[in-house]
Structure 1
Amino acid sequence: MHILDFTDRKALITGAASGIGAAGARLLANGGAATLILTDRDADALDAFDPGCSVVRIAGDVADPGHWDEVAPHLDGLDHAIVNAGIAAGGAIGETGFAEWRRVLGTNLDGAFLTLSTALPLMREGGSVVLTASVSGIKAEPGTAAYGCSKAGLIHLARVAAKEAAPRRIRVNAIAPGGVDTPIWDQTPFFRDLVAEHGGARTAALDAMAAMATPLGRYASADEIAAQVGFLLSDMAATITGAVLVSDGGYSL
């Protein structure tokens, strides 16, 4: 038996076509999940992704209420959800336009709210949810206002949801990774500059950042974070709710 047993479960994953979302989908499929409802705004990547079990793919923007009108009919009897869709951004407060601020909070926080407000009423008693937050929502750094505030809000959203869902024995937790090797880095100008400084070597740029910022001297893989998400979703975490698992290699120490 797979150590994380999701036999015959139904799960929703947002931001499912790459990174932590895709790794989470594969982990659930390997654990015996019967059906995965996968959403991502990259329709081509979503269509190409095969986690290895029965899948419903619905491309769209998690910040669009109309997208959830399309997803909701597939969620009845839901067991689990990984609320993972997110975008990155960087820039000092005085250099960040309001449109950029709203773009980041729209996906990262509004999208999480819409996910929960749609999924929780349709989830079975005893279900579980994990929201992908970030250590940026805990530790302040220059240039992270929009992203960090979106993730801090997401952490508190998870806590409120945990209290609201507890009477139905639904658990809601968050994970706050530090550096993780996912495509989200490629959205940020500072990382693209760092890659250029390393002659176009993306891995070398990630290793350089990890060596400078993380006591353990390494970043996580998407599969490592997905395994931790899987634990929080699983029956092994049956008494854990409203928690934030910080998985940052010691960055926040």
Structure 2
Amino acid sequence: MTTDTARFENKTALITGGASGMGFAVARRLLDEGARVVLTGRDQARLDAAADRLAAGDRVLTVRQDASDIPGTQTLADRIRDHHGSLDVLFANAGVASFQPAAEVTEDEFDRVVGTNLKGVFFTVQRALPLLGVGSSVVINASWTAHRGLPNGSLYSATKAAVQSLARTLAAELGPRGIRVNTVSPGYIDTPMYRQEVDPATEAAVTAQIAARRIGTAEDVAEVVAFLASDRAAYVNGQDLLVDGGLVAAVPAAL
């Protein structure tokens, strides 16, 4: 991995769900390249621990906020305005997993997952819009499951397909304002959420589906998010970039 220490200098990035996993890796990457970051999460203790690990002093602002708390998205925007004045990068990363047969999905579970993965994303972006100016970038975390059917993933996959569509329409709507909107679709990435959902005993079978023959890392995703958020991607808009080691597009050769 190579970094450009000045690529995000004097820029402010909001990363939802930034206390661990992909959000944390993106925060570390953008900080390494000069950014100021705002991290959100539901647990202040975990946010404080993340800030300590990042060791970037006052370039890290933590805000306890549940992405499904819609009034809280305005409070978050107000905090950013008061602290930084504006925003250059938004990585809408906060999300929840949900995998069960469609016949077993309850209305409460539907509301929980859609409330975070779609509604929360929509209103986080909406409330951030007054802070975003010409040249700013929005990156939404989607998923490979929006590209390929996954048994027991109907609810989760539907929300990820929805944010891919949202990104395309927002790219069209916000393009005249100089704001780019893209999605990144990770495959199997070694994060705390992955470890909760994939039994270690089945990991070999999962890895066998991936052309790269390995589970991805949060840093793999951070590399792509940093590109999409930067001026190097100035002509990339309304796109979805798969970071999946070939899981969707390639059938691995037999070993």
Give the TM-score taking structure 2 as reference length.
0.89
Q: Give the corresponding residue for 1:40.
A: 41
Seen in structure 2, the aligned counterparts of structure 1 residues 70 and 106 have a Cα distance that, compared at 3 Å, is same
In structure 2, do the counterparts of structure 1 residues 112 and 135 end up closer, same or farther at CA, with 3 Å as the change threshold? same
> Which segments of 5 or more consecutive residues in structure 1 lack a partner in the other structure?
199-204
User: Does the 8 Å contact 1:210/1:217 carry over to 2?
Assistant: no
Amino acid at match of 1:6: F
* Aligned match of 2:29: 27
- Is the 2:133–2:178 Cα contact (8 Å) retained in structure 1? no
Q: For 1:60, which of 36, 42, 65 is the aligned residue? A: 65
Q: What is the one-letter code of the residue matched to 1:210?
A: V
Q: Deviations over 1:191-227 (max 9, x none)?
A: 2xx23xx4xxxxxx54x14323212211210011101
In the alignment, the residues of structure 2 paired with residue 45 and residue 217 of structure 1 have an alpha-carbon distance, to the nearest angstrom, of 32
Q: Secondary structure at the match of 1:218?
A: coil
Deviation of 1:2 after TM superposition, in Å, equals 4.0
C-alpha distance in structure 1 between counterparts of 2:12 and 2:133, whole Å: 10
User: Match of 2:129?
Assistant: 120
TM-score (normalised: structure 1): 0.90
Tell me the SS of whatever aligns to 1:180.
coil
Shift of residue 143 of structure 1?
A: 0.4
CA offset at residue 52 of structure 1?
3.7
Measured at CA, do residues 124 and 209 of structure 1 come closer, stay the same or move farther in structure 2, by a change above 3 Å? farther
Is residue 212 from structure 1 mapped to residue 213 from structure 2 by the alignment?
no
Structure 2 contact 188–194 (Cα < 8 Å) conserved:
no
- The one of 95, 100, 107 equivalent to 1:86 is 95
Residue in structure 1 matched with residue 252 of structure 2 by the alignment = none
Map 1:1-253 → 2, pairs under 5 A: 2-3=3-4, 5-33=7-35, 35-50=36-51, 51-53=54-56, 54-73=59-78, 74-75=80-81, 76-188=85-197, 191=198, 194-195=199-200, 198=201, 205-206=202-203, 208-253=204-249
* Aligned counterparts of 1:98 and 1:185: Cα–Cα separation in 2: 24
In structure 2, the CA distance between the partners of 1:132 and 1:209, relative to structure 1 (3 Å rule), is farther
How far apart are the structure 2 equivalents of 1:7 and 1:20? 21
Q: CA deviation at 1:12?
A: 0.5
- Partners of 2:92 and 2:121 in 1: CA distance: 6
Separation of aligned partners in 1, 2:102 and 2:3: 46
Identical amino acids, percent of aligned pairs: 38
In the TM superposition, what is the alpha-carbon distance from 1:187 to its structure 2 partner?
3.9
Structure 2: stretches of 5+ with no match in the other structure: 250-255
Letter in 2 for 1:59: R
- Cα distance in 2 for partners of 1:10, 1:52 equals 17
Question: Displacement, 1:186?
Answer: 3.7
Name the structure 2 match of 1:201: none
Using the alignment, how far apart are the partners of 2:131 and 2:73 within structure 1?
A: 12
Q: 2:220·2:243 contact (CA, 8 Å) conserved in 1?
A: no
Contact 2:139–2:184 (CA under 8 A) maintained in structure 1: yes
Deviation of 1:103 (Å): 1.0
Q: Is contact 1:12-1:38 (8 Å) kept?
A: yes
Aligned residues: 239
